[in-house]
Amino acid sequence: MKDFAGKNVFIAGGSAGIGLACARLFSQQGASVHLFARDKARLLTARDEVSACCADSSRCFDCAPLDVTDAARVKAVMGKMVEKHGPPDILVNCAGQARPRRFDEISPEQAMHTMTVNFAGTWNTVSALWPGMKKRGGWIVNTSSVAGFMGIFGYTDYCASKFAVIGFSEALKSEGEAFGIGVSVLCPPDTDTPGLAEENLTKPPETRAISSTAKLMTADEVASALLAGIKKGRLYIIPGFDGKLAVAVKRHAPWLLEAIMRHAMKKAVQ
């Protein structure tokens, strides 16, 4: 996909953070953008902000309140949006959350909730839109994290959910090819968003120390990487130098990554 003008873009988790930054950028490049998230007031404000970024008045901007964990509702709401605007050329799954804590402080309820929002939520939107996208092709971007490649202290539930998103996306890519559906998996490092501010409230010092070894990115930088990654047809979109380096070290010298993380954690608790 080389050009986003006139494309129909659906963004789950598009009312804040990385999803909202992507929505603005798609709109600036002439796409019609439709947003989904739970909080209706924030969603309407986001839709107005996104539509104001577009110079082309023939483009269309819509939104619908939705909790991606409710599979039946996802099917119904996405179905209505497809009736109104047609199936998406591009689906971006950005709804997600992290509540870092030590393993023994994470309740089974929190662990299941993390899996449900981050993994099942992604599954639900793809399932709802897959039949329509199969008819004419398109592109799906699921959001994992750098923490989807490596286990990080304080993120036992989050890492499990983000590893799952990577496995899901790789398998989906191989099934999508026959229908002209491309798949990317976005793997950002720490990014300055309302979600990260919330996440920082529960971060153990060790997790905070590991996070501080990489440069904080802006949501706009991550959105630019996402759009560039789709244009290049990338499966993995890893924004920023630090994220790419961490993933490369994990792949080629996992012992070195462990040593770096252990060193940061040791300093944090001294």
Ligand X SMILES: NC(=O)c1ccc[n+]([C@@H]2O[C@H](COP(=O)([O-])OP(=O)(O)OC[C@H]3O[C@@H](n4cnc5c(N)ncnc54)[C@H](OP(=O)(O)O)[C@@H]3O)[C@@H](O)[C@H]2O)c1
| Active centre residues (catalytic) | 144, 158, 162
Which CB atom, from 38 or from 134, has the smaller least distance to ligand X?
A: 38
Of 51, 143, 169, 184, the residue at the interface with ligand X (CB under 6 A) is 143
Task: Report which secondary-structure segment, H or E, holds 135.
Answer: helix 121-136
Q: Is 66 in the site for ligand X (CB under 6 A)?
A: yes
Which CB atom, from 73 or from 134, has the smaller least distance to ligand X?
A: 73
Beta bridge partners of 34: 10, 62
Stretch that binds ligand X, among 66-74, 77-85, 101-109, 224-232 (CB under 6 A): 66-74
Only one residue has tokens 């099934």, namely 175
Of 64, 77, 92, 95, the residue at the interface with ligand X (CB under 6 A) is 95
Tokens of 121: 């939520």
Please report, for residues 54, 90, 160, the alpha-carbon distance to residue 34 in angstroms, rounded to integers and kept in the order given. 13, 10, 29
Of 196, 209, 226, 237, the residue at the interface with ligand X (CB under 6 A) is 196
Of 1, 28, 30, 38, the residue at the interface with ligand X (CB under 6 A) is 38
Region class of 154: left (phi > 0), else alpha (psi between -120 and 50), else beta: left
CB atoms within 10 A of CB 41: 9
Q: Is 145 in the site for ligand X (CB under 6 A)?
A: yes
Which CB atom, from 96 or from 204, has the smaller least distance to ligand X?
A: 96
CB atoms within 10 A of CB 113: 17
Binding footprint of ligand X on the chain (CB under 6 A):
13-19, 37-39, 42, 66-69, 94-98, 117-118, 121, 143, 145, 188, 190-191, 193-196
